[in-house]
Amino acid sequence: MKHIISALVENKPGVLAHVAGMFAARGFNIDSLVVGRTEDPEMSRMTIVVVGDDRVVEQVRKQLAKIVPVVKVQDFAGQPVVVRDLMLITVTAPPEKRAEIFSLMEMFRGKVVDIGLKSLMIEISGPESKIEAFINVCRPYGIKNVARTGTIAMPRQANIE
């Protein structure tokens, strides 16, 4: 089962390496890891997706909490959360196929961010299943390149106010 863990950490050099080292040393696999600044420039938020049973995830959560630059650890299991991934995808798009691709893109609420002579770069955001579905519908046209962010998540506001 996938678990999404949020860790609020001090925004200092070496924190990411320290956290990644903890995972590697204990044989835990990271499915996705995203790090970014928060509203406080001295803090960053790590969103870590781990695949494992509840026991494994509890171990991960406890080990993360022991790392000095980690301020707060939260497992979102069982909580209503907003979860998003972001993807840039370059699709082969000769002029005669662009209308079809635009139609697909609009169904997925994507947007064109770059146009080439024979391709389109499209931005899609949403749950991982939406990203995967868009990749699958683009395959027949030809996918030139894909870049993905990994998962970010926050608890729904009704749970924290």
- 45: three-class secondary structure by DSSP: strand
Residue 160 has a pLDDT of: 54
So where are the chain's domains? 2-75, 82-154
Tokens of 27: 């044989």
**pLDDT tens sequence for the chain (161 residues):** 889 999 999 999 999 999 988 888 888 889 999 999 999 999 999 999 988 888 888 888 888 888 878 999 998 988 899 999 999 999 999 999 999 999 999 999 999 999 999 999 999 999 999 999 999 999 999 999 999 999 999 999 875 55
Fill in the DSSP letter of residue 105: H
Write down the pTM of the prediction: 0.82
Give 2-75's CATH code, choosing from 1.10.10.60, 3.30.70.260, 3.30.390.10, 3.40.50.300.
3.30.70.260
Angle of helix 54-66 relative to helix 15-25, nearest 10 degrees, comes to 140
Q: Do domains 2-75 and 82-154 have the same CATH topology?
A: yes
- Dihedral in degrees, nearest 10, Cα atoms 6, 12, 18, 20: 50
CATH number of 82-154: 3.30.70.1150
